[in-house]
C-alpha cells in the first residue's frame, strides 16, 4: 500500500535498482520499495555486463469504507436495515446477546435490551478496516420510534407458491403484515437442503431449481415463526 515499504532482493550482487514510475513506487539502493500512489510500477535490477531482472509492483490503498447509514434504535424481536456505500464488506455485531447482524445484507435484529456496536469491515491486500455504528435495543412497545421495524400481529401471514406443480421454476411470496427479512430453505422429502437464501416478505421471488422431479418443501422462517409449503416438481 502507499506509505508502506517492502524489500526486493537479487542473488547477483553489484547491481543497481530503478523504478519505471517514481510517482507510484520508489526503490532504494538496497531494493527497498516504497509505495507512493495507487497503481503499478516496474522495478528493475541491472547488473552491468550481466543483464537485468524486473518485477511488477502493485501499490494499493488501505480500505476506506464509508460511514454506515440507517437507524440507531431497534426493538426486541424486530430488525432494521443498515447500509454502507462501500460494497464488498461484511457486517458483524460486537455483542450477539444484544443484537445480531446478518453478515451479507446489514440486517440487525434486536435480541435483548441494551446497546451494541455494529461493524462493517472491508478487507483487501493491505488489511482490514471497520466502521462502527452504535445501536440501542429497546423493549418492544411505545419506545419504538420512526425508522424501527414494528413486530405487528402476524394474523395474516401466508406462504404462497405458484405455479404448483411446476418444472423447477416457480414464484414464492411470504405475505405478512410487516416488510421483514425471512430465511428460506428448500428441502427434499428427506430433509436435504437443495437451496437456501434470504428474502424480504411481501415481495415476489422467482426461484429456479435444478433438481429431479419429486416433492419438495419450502420453509420460510421469520421473527414471527416458521411457514411451510409443499411443491411438486414434474
d(CA 51, CA 98): 64
Do the domains at 73-138 and 158-233 have one common CATH topology? yes
| Architecture field, domain 73-138 | Sandwich (2.60)
- In degrees to the nearest 10, what's the CA dihedral of 47, 50, 51, 55? -60
Q: What distance in Å separates the CA atoms of residue 230 and residue 219, rounded to the nearest whole number?
A: 9
For 109-141, the pLDDT digits (tens) are 888 888 999 999 999 878 899 999 999 888 765
Domain boundaries, the chain: 5-59, 73-138, 158-233
Q: Which CATH superfamily is domain 158-233 in?
A: Macroglobulin (MG2) domain (2.60.40.1930)
Q: How many CB atoms lie within 10 A of CB 89?
A: 23
DSSP summary character for residue 190: T
- Strands 127-138 and 73-75: what pairing? parallel
DSSP 11-36: SS-S-EEEES-TTTEEE-TTSEEEE-
Please report which confidence band the pLDDT of residue 19 belongs to, taking 50, 70 and 90 as the band edges. very high
- Rounded to an integer, the average pLDDT of 139-168 is 62
Amino acid at each position: 500500500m502507499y506509505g508502506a515499504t517492502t524489500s526486493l532482493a537479487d542473488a547477483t550482487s553489484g547491481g543497481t535498482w530503478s523504478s519505471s514510475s517514481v510517482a507510484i513506487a520508489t526503490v532504494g539502493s538496497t531494493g527497498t520499495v516504497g509505495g507512493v500512489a495507487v497503481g503499478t510500477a516496474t522495478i528493475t535490477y541491472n547488473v552491468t555486463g550481466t543483464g537485468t531482472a524486473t518485477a511488477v509492483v502493485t501499490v494499493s490503498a488501505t480500505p476506506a469504507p464509508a460511514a454506515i447509514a440507517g437507524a440507531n434504535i431497534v426493538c426486541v424481536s424486530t430488525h432494521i436495515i443498515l447500509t454502507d456505500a462501500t460494497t464488498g464488506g461484511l457486517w458483524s455485531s460486537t455483542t450477539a446477546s444484544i443484537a445480531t447482524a446478518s453478515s451479507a445484507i446489514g440486517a440487525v435484529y434486536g435480541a435483548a435490551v441494551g446497546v451494541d456496536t455494529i461493524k462493517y469491515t472491508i478487507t483487501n491486500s493491505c488489511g482490514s478496516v471497520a466502521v462502527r455504528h452504535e445501536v440501542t435495543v429497546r423493549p418492544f412497545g411505545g419506545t419504538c420510534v420512526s425508522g424501527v421495524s414494528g413486530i405487528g400481529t402476524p394474523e395474516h401471514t401466508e406462504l404462497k407458491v405458484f405455479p404448483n406443480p411446476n418444472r423447477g421454476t416457480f414464484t414464492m411470496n411470504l405475505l405478512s403484515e410487516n416488510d421483514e427479512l425471512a430465511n428460506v430453505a428448500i428441502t427434499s422429502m428427506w430433509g436435504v437442503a437443495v437451496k437456501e437464501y434470504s428474502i424480504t416478505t411481501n415481495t415476489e421471488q422467482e426461484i429456479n431449481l435444478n433438481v429431479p422431479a419429486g416433492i419438495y418443501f419450502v420453509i420460510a422462517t421469520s421473527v414471527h415463526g416458521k411457514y411451510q409449503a409443499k411443491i411438486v416438481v414434474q
